Amino acid sequence: MARILGVGIATLDIVNSVAAYPPEDAEVRARVQRVGRGGNCANSLVVLSQLGHDCAWGGVLADEPDAARITDDLNSYGIDLGPVRHLAHGKVPTSYITLNQQNGSRTIVHYRDLPEYRYEDFQTIDLSRFGWLHFEGRNIADTARMLELARASRPLTPRSVEIEKPRPGIEQLFPLATVLLFSRDYVHAQASSDPGYFLHDMHRRAPQADLVLAWGEAGAWALSRSGQLMHSPAFPPPQIVDTLGAGDTFNAGIIDALVRRLALTEALEAACRLAGRKCGHTGLNFVGQYA
Ligand code: ADP
Ligand code: FRU
């Protein structure tokens, strides 16, 4: 087990479950509504803490009532909020999510108007406490400086970076990570659709990193820093009920497996198994539950 620091966002998620995905301009009734905490980094930490890791979160919170939903939830998993930057004004990022009960698909409309976590905030954290550092690929200039600081001061501590969206300049993070966690959306945004081809291309830019690419119901691919390409199928549950946070769960599965010193090929399969189980449960509180 490790002490893991995650830097990224936590959100308020308003999730409406519908019988079928509505056409544009329709008016439909949600069958169920749940309101809770989300956010890629926070989701991954919540899963990692259920796997027994000691987690801390570095992100931004606004001083407003919805922030309590986020802090209450993270506290309930024992996640250390010491590195959080608190702002007197603003609104926590909010996602309006439509969950299709037919196939578990999630469609997200995200609203955000909150400053990002800064290098100055990160600089105050004692990195020697942590055995793994995980970052969302956002706020690129500051995140690059965080990664450089981590690399210089704790060269042996692994640094995973999630590359989910094609943000301007995000490639400058590639050489600074030891593990890069790509999404299918990112690959498509590069006008690519071939996982193997994409990963070999990325390997040229980040030869120092293990590269991982989740691909929904087709499982996931990885390319080790030594150049070995591998694939794991997905492990669908008996019924797919909720794919929200499947990618964040998958990332947690990779980090957990690599902390436990599994080989990359084993980590890939373990992460697909974990994310598959998640798809059979509503929400992220599933790890201790019977599969
Ligand atoms: P995101 O949540 O970012 O859209 P993906 O859709 O790529 O993430 O899914 C992440 C992982 O979750 C996949 O690699 C796979 O292992 C698992 N997964 C996602 N959708 C399914 C599904 N329909 N059946 C089984 N496993 C799935
Ligand atoms: C799921 C998720 C949601 C959040 C959105 C942020 O991966 O983290 O919980 O609202 O993505 O982009």
pLDDT digits (tens, 9 = 90+) for 61-73: 999 999 999 999 9
In the prediction, which pLDDT does 183 show? 98
Domain boundaries, the chain: 3-9+41-84+117-285
Residue 8's nearest CA partner among 56, 48, 71, 69 is: 56
Please compute the mean of the pLDDT values over residues 134-140 and round it to a whole number. 98
Verify whether ligand 2 is closer than 6 Å to residue 283 (CB atom): no
All residues at 6 or more sequence positions from 151 whose CB lies less than 8 Å from its CB, including other chains: 159, 176
Pocket test for ligand 1, best of 243, 254, 272, 278 (most atoms within 8 A of CB): 243
- What is the residue with the minimal CA distance to atom 16 of ligand 1? 272
Ligand nearest to the CA of 276: 1
What distance in Å separates the CA atoms of residue 93 and residue 161, rounded to the nearest whole number? 21
Sheet holding 106-111, edge to edge: 32-38, 11-18, 94-100, 106-111
Pocket test for ligand 2, best of 12, 40, 249, 285 (most atoms within 8 A of CB): 40
291 has pLDDT over 90: no
**Mind listing the pLDDT tens digit for each residue in 184-201?**
999 999 989 999 999 999
pTM above 0.85, yes or no: yes
Helices (H), 2-64: 40-50
In the prediction, which pLDDT does 285 show? 95
Verify whether ligand 2 is closer than 6 Å to residue 94 (CB atom): no
CA of 247 to the centre of ligand 1 (A): 6
Ligand 1: which atom is nearest the Cα of residue 240? 23
**Mind listing the pLDDT tens digit for each residue in 151-177?**
999 999 999 999 999 999 999 999 999
What distance in Å separates the CA atoms of residue 182 and residue 177, rounded to the nearest whole number? 12
Cα torsion for 79, 214, 289, 158, to the nearest 10°? -40
Contact indicator for 84, 58 with CB cutoff of 8 Å: yes
Contact indicator for 71, 46 with CB cutoff of 8 Å: no
**Mind listing the pLDDT tens digit for each residue in 42-57?**
999 999 999 999 999 9
- Tell me what the pLDDT averaged over the chain comes to: 96
- What is the residue with the minimal CA distance to atom 7 of ligand 2? 245
In the prediction, which pLDDT does 176 show? 98
In the prediction, which pLDDT does 103 show? 87
The verdict on domain 3-9+41-84+117-285 having CATH code 3.30.1330.30 is no
Ligand 1: which atom is nearest the Cα of residue 215? 7
Pairing of strands 3-7, 32-38: unpaired
What distance in Å separates the CA atoms of residue 142 and residue 136, rounded to the nearest whole number? 11
For residue 227, name the pLDDT band (cuts at 50, 70, 90).
very high
Which DSSP symbol is given to 115?
Answer: P
For residue 290, name the pLDDT band (cuts at 50, 70, 90).
low
Ligand nearest to the CA of 103: 1
Ligand nearest to the CA of 10: 2
27 has pLDDT over 80: yes
